[in-house]
Structure 1
């Protein structure tokens, strides 16, 4: 890793689950890495556009007693320099911005490597594929941050599975829709669960199991809050280097599950060919 002030700051933040506000503070600290050891909590708060108590909570989240302790640590690990001096201010900050984005990409690549290692044993995914293929209908649940993952899976799954039911909206009708799927013959529910984990998802999975559904879950960790309500959980880490989580690994795992599900659907290929024929007749795509 580059031994720049920005890189050292980035290393300090790694491994901590930060809120979006705290990530905003972290990003501004990286961008102004050479200046941060000399800023007061009020100055940092103004720079990041947050409240001063948010800066204090951020320091505590990193394991310090408060912001003074964090600033003392930064002064000890940073090279002695005054903010704004040539060669110690703007240029390193500009370099840190590029490094920050690159580090986010490298972190996602590492998440994908971990997923590849997990898939060295294909048994859990193959089991999940058989379960998903066997359920008629197949409800697919994902709320808030995970809604995009659920919609992506449901979009492609509907091309090969005869009855996909997307559950991407919460509220009082969510359990009603689970009940309707069970009455229609569903035996399995697929859930995408990503941080920050909505309580509503945990409650919905608990309800689904009491209704007799087998729950297959894609989550960011085997220790996610949804784990205790999942019959089969396959983890795929999210990236936390940017202000909002990145979910390349969960998205790819969703596609892997689609492939495994297709293996359990004898007419999957015929359905795909039928769709292609209809799409060509309608001029659906411009290719």
Structure 2
């Protein structure tokens, strides 16, 4: 089932509903779930929504009250007005593994709808291309995304610095990048969000860096510490989150950065020539 019922406008309307409210981390998690399951949300009981969001049923009730409703039933009635009518979700024959794959397909479809406006990504590409060096931050669950981006970015960008370890040295490494001339920092932030990442982004901005963040949601804790946030939902149907959309968005950012680097193609051709001379690959 499509995560937004095939209507990107529904996602925008839901996000507008949540704007202006000071939501707790648990409430942001529920809001994120409602956005991801926009087509289903008007039909879900408070217990079902709590299970999908991984929170308690009373948390769902408090979430509804925090938005100004008398309780969850009133919020659900409002959702039926906000989200375009769709068929009530039926019982499917797909097993849990197939459902997880379908959820990722839905996440990718939603990402495609967001990319209908390419300007945010193009702007991010220009910011990343212009930063020398370019620090790339990703801790814990997001470390793989940061490492993957950095691996390919080094083929076209002259100085990419991967920040994938926390601890007391993290701020030192941000300082070193600033002293070397960095103007922007790219962060991959996925749940559960480490406190160190939030603190590092707050410090990076105070040091003068423009922060570009790929996060699982516009409600992520890193949002208020980012100058440009690009959302890409994660899958939550398995024991551990899946992150196909954030990975693909990272590759899209790479493409945008290459477009902003005048010598990117020459660098790629130089790498290919050296790789062939060294017999680096077996194909």
Q: TM-score, normalised by structure 2?
A: 0.70
Q: CA deviation at 1:223?
A: 1.2
Conservation of the 8 A alpha-carbon contact between 2:50 and 2:59: no
User: How much does 1:61 deviate?
Assistant: 6.7
Q: 2:185 aligns with which of 186, 189, 208?
A: 189
Matches within 5 A, 1:171-190: 171-190=167-186
Q: CA offset at residue 12 of structure 1? A: 3.3
Going from structure 1 to structure 2, the CA distance change for 1:223 and 1:13 (only over 3 Å counts) comes to closer
Moved over 4 A (4+): 57-63
The number of residue pairs the alignment matches comes to 210
Aligned twin of 2:234? 238
TM-superposition CA deviations, 1:80-113 (whole Å, max 9, x none): xxxxxxxxxxxxxxx97x6111111111110001
Gaps of 5+ in 1: 2-7, 19-56, 64-94
| Contact residue 237 and residue 247 of structure 1 kept, 8 A | yes
Match of 2:117 in 1: 121
| TM-score, normalization by structure 1 | 0.69
Verify the 8 A CA contact 2:212 2:229 in the aligned structure 1. Answer: yes
Select the structure of larger CA radius of gyration: 1
Tell me if 1:203 matches 2:199: yes
Counterpart of 2:77 in structure 1 is none
Distance 1:161 1:14, change over 3 A: farther
CA RMSD in angstroms comes to: 2.2
CA distance in 2, matches of 1:15, 1:281: 55
The partner residue of 1:161 within 157, 169, 178 is 157
How do residues 7-22 of structure 1 correspond to structure 2 at under 5 angstroms?
12=48, 16-18=52-54
Local SS of the residue matching 2:135: strand
Distance in 1 between residues matched to 2:58 and 2:199, nearest whole Å: 30
Given that 2:50 and 2:56 are in contact with CA atoms closer than 8 Å, whether structure 1 keeps it comes out as no
